[in-house]
Chain A
Amino acid sequence: MPMNRYADMEDKLRILEDLNMMYIRQIALSLQDSDIQKKIDHEIRMRDGACKLLAACSQRDQALEASKSLLTCNIRIMAYMSELQRMKEAQVMQRVALRSSDAGPTDDRLPCKGKVAISDLRIPLMWKDTEYFKNKGELHRCAVFCLLQVGAEIHDTDMVIVDRTLTDICFDNTIVFEASPGFELRVELYSCCSEEDYSAGSTHRKLASKLSSSLGRSAGKKLRVAMDPGACSPISNGGGATLLLPLPSVGPKYHLLAHTTLSLSHVQDSFRTHDLSISGNEECSHWVPLYGNVCCRLAAQPHCMTQQMISGCLKVKQFGGDPQSWTNVYGVLKGTNLFCYHRQEDIEANVEPAFTISINKKTRIRASEKDLHSKAQSICISNHYGGEEVTHTLSADSREDTHRWMEAFWQQFYDMSQWKQCCDDLMKIELPSPRKPTLVTSKQGSLYHEMVIDTSDDISTVTDILARRMQELELRSQLGTSPPWMSLFEESPGCPRTHNRLPHSPLRCPRPGLLSSEASLTSDSYSPCSTSPCSRHSGWAEPLSSPSSHFRPRTLSLDAKLSTLRGRGYGGVLQCSCQPPSSSSLAPIPAQRIPQATLSCSSSTSSNSSSEGSHSPELSNGTSFSRPSSARRSLRNLRAKLDPRNWLQSQV
């Protein structure tokens, strides 16, 4: 019976797994490298957890996440294993070398390491026309993520669900590695079909249901491929990993979709496009139509550019100057400069250095002959500034110091020759912030949904909270787009800063449910600043000079009122509720009468606009405007649509 054989296989696989785990642990122990051993242990534990979670979870996205962690853990374990093997080999080679004692001390200079950051990964997609016509209501979706590997360091990006409404796959993560200049950054894209799983267990059910509702061509292809798992991708999950660490047979499986390798030559301070090698084809269930490129920003900060390589006391004079003109300085070699400060304390005090000697690829440094007056050799540094050659002479206190400085300069030159273009200028690396900013993209979109303002608070508390938030967000608003409500704090012409005093003037603009003072305050402070959308009804006004003033802060009480009113179907009316034309003067209106007042507002504005004739009134496409008479409206709409002089606008 096939079921028994299946169960047997499962048992065997489980035993194999346990043996493999033991084997891995043994190797780790034998090498007595506690660092990697700890890492392997950690990954093994994560892997066990992911397996258990995968077996237990019921929801599709949980299963996808668990499967992703499992794959990542497997690949990490394999990477650590190969690292261990390499170390073991190196150990053995060293022992052999010592025994034969023919190798002298290796004088190989090693380049300094650096930070390599990859960010803003974007993979464009190329959907075929036929994809759009398969509009059976379900989108073909795939879950994708990227693995980035440098040596034994493996990082994964977040998982993104891809369907045909996306033009690109974007990964927002910034990932920073510590690497030497000869690094190889391997980028791998894994994908997994996110629909009904075509695993062996449920195929017969699917087959029955499909047969009863005639099998489409593409569905048939997919089933055929699912029945034959080997055909699609020979390297499904990191090749050898599946032998050592078999994956559970249930649950979603990720397959390698594309990969590429980046190295130092691809490092640049801006975005670049690289080619992807794609594995798999259209027939696979995990296929996503890639355009074939990946765009990303790969930046590197070698340590020689960011850290102080050497520092100490020096005596400097210009070459050829008289022997008495030695200046005592505290020199710091960092990046492409030798900063010479008057005193060591100046560095902490952020005082500008006395002078700076540049040390770059074009600098020439040599040790000069012993000066008559000094005890040790001095170092000559020559640069070309403009057309002139300027030479400085440095002298250290002792021979050892001079030797140290020369050594540091040689190392610096070597590092710069190894890191090449990364040493021309310091590249910026934005460190990933510990928590993801989810403020602006939340469903309702108002920052103040998260702020609870007690009705007994007065306005100074509100501005305090705002100021604190502003400081928090300042760190995140490096993109230059400040949060929309910051416009309130900017001086805008003709907009008095009203949010610091309580209003006593009547409301110029009816807002639903605004009897509490702070809610009315926020609207009042907003109204003078905005020539808001409704004013456009009376002809084509200039586009707003400060578009950010659209966004107005709200308090919880206002939100609550808005949502109840929306629920009552006045949503369409509310859109028009601000800034009625100046002809209608509205005094503060109690909450119950608001809907009618705004109704009159909307009808008056629409009558204004229709009298213009230059553009048609707004055609509502499914909004719940309550219009005076529907028959008149439809006739008017038809006339407006057909009139060639009109420039139609539709509300969506």
Chain B
Amino acid sequence: MKGPLSYLQPGRNTKVSDQSETMSFIPGQPVTAVVQRIEIRKLRQGEHLILGFSIGGGIDQDPGQNPFSEDKSDKGIYVTRVTPEGPAEVAGLMMGDKVMQVNGWDMTMVTHDQARKRLTKKNEDVVRLLVTRKSLEQAVKHSMM
């Protein structure tokens, strides 16, 4: 994994440093996670720009029903489905990823609709996500041992 980053403080501009620690999630406390940067170019389909994946979660949703989260109180935005050969899959997004940032905007403390809106802005044809997944954490832990 080249250059994993870690990431602090949801809801504000993040300082990015190179230490990696276990992912913890306590609302109100700074979050540290090992993230991967994914750049997705939207695909034009008629008059729509699509990314090719589906999201679930949000602070207005019931986190217990999220099959991908480790911590069942995690109200973050998770990738629930990736369209095969869609722009998201091509860019390396995987099902089960938790989306931490979209184009610099925080996604750990947003409603479902806010998250959807941030991904589907019409004037942006590329979205840069910071996503985290368990395998990244493990890879970093192994490389540090």
Contact = CB atoms under 8 A, between A and B. Distances in A.
Does chain A bind chain B? yes
Interface residues of B, number: 61
A126 B8 CA distance: 13
A445 B84 contact: no
Contacts of B57: 647
A578 interface: yes
Interface string B56-93: 11100110011110000000000011111111011100
Interface stretch (A351-359, A361-369, A376-384, A543-551): A543-551
A650 B16 contact: no
B45 A648 contact: no
Most A CB contacts (10 A, CB to CB) among B83, B87, B128 go to B83
Given A443-B41, A621-B120, A645 B62 contact: yes
B89 A167 contact: no
Contacts of B139: 480
Given A622-B120, A647-B65, A120 B56 contact: no
Contacts of A652: 50-51, 53-55, 116, 119-120
A460 B91 CA distance: 30
SS class of chain A's interface: helix, strand, loop or mixed?
Answer: loop
Nearest to A559: B85
Interface stretch (A198-206, A532-540, A599-607): A532-540
Contacts of A572: 45
B50 A622 contact: yes
Contacts of B123: 135, 137
Nearest to B130: A167
Given A120-B2, A543-B67, A623-B45, A273 B53 contact: no
Contacts of A126: 13, 15
A566 interface: yes
B2 to A, nearest CB: 6
A127 B53 CA distance: 28
A446 B58 contact: no
A550 B54 contact: no
A137 B122 CA distance: 10
Nearest to A530: B84
A478 to B, nearest CB: 10
B45 A165 contact: no
A622 B49 contact: yes
B96 interface: yes
Given A273-B17, A569-B46, A572-B45, A167 B104 contact: yes
A550 B81 CA distance: 11
A444 interface: yes
Interface string B83-113: 1111101110011100001011100000010
Interface string A111-125: 000000000101010
A650 B54 contact: yes
User: Which interface residue of A273, A441, A571, A614 has the most chain B CB atoms within 10 A?
Assistant: A571
Contact of B62 (A167, A168, A540, A647): A647
Nearest to B90: A445
B88 to A, nearest CB: 8
A624 B45 contact: yes
B94 A122 contact: no
A649 interface: yes
B126 interface: yes
Contacts of A127: 13, 104
Contacts, number: 154
A566 B91 CA distance: 20
B45 A533 contact: no
Nearest to B47: A622
Contacts of B128: 165-167
B103 A165 contact: yes
A543 B96 contact: yes
Contact of B3 (A120, A544, A566, A569): A120
* Residue of B66, B89, B90, B105 with most partner-chain A CB within 10 A: B90
A320 to B, nearest CB: 41
B38 to A, nearest CB: 11
A3 interface: no
Interface residues of A, number: 65
A295 B53 CA distance: 32
Given A543-B68, A550-B84, A550-B89, A648 B1 contact: no
A534 B55 CA distance: 15
Interface in B1-42: 1-3, 5, 13-18, 37, 41
Interface string A285-305: 000000101010000000000
A569 B1 CA distance: 38
Given A533-B82, A540-B67, A571-B45, A547 B54 contact: no
A277 B98 CA distance: 35
A342 to B, nearest CB: 37
B120 A547 contact: no
A307 interface: no
Interface string A155-192: 00000000011111010000000000000000000000
Contacts of A552: 84-85
B65 A650 contact: no
A399 to B, nearest CB: 50
Contacts of B124: 165
Given A167-B16, A543-B95, A650 B116 contact: yes
Interface centre among A135, A571, A575, A650 (most CB of B within 10 A): A650
Residue from B58, B67, B94, B128 having most chain A Cβ neighbours under 10 A: B67
Interface string A537-577: 00010011001001110100000001000100101100100
Contacts of B96: 543
Nearest to A129: B13
B1 A480 contact: yes
A271 interface: yes
Contact of B89 (A129, A137, A551, A615): A551
B18 A575 contact: no
Contacts of B120: 621-622, 652
Contacts of A479: 1-2
A618 B80 CA distance: 11
6 contacts: A165-B127, A532-B84, A562-B85, A622-B48, A652-B54, A652-B55
Interface of A: 120, 122, 124, 126-129, 132, 135, 137, 164-168, 170, 271-273, 291, 293, 295, 440-441, 443-446, 479-481, 532-533, 536, 540, 543-544, 547, 550-552, 554, 562, 566, 569, 571-572, 575, 578, 614-615, 618, 621-624, 644-652
The 7 closest A-B pairs by CB, nearest first: A445-B90, A622-B48, A647-B65, A652-B119, A649-B56, A165-B103, A650-B116
Interface of B: 1-3, 5, 13-18, 37, 41, 45-46, 48-58, 61-62, 65-68, 80-87, 89-91, 94-96, 101, 103-105, 112, 115-116, 119-120, 123-124, 126-128, 130, 139
Given A126-B15, A167-B37, A621-B120, 6 more contacts: A122-B16, A291-B15, A445-B87, A533-B81, A614-B65, A618-B81
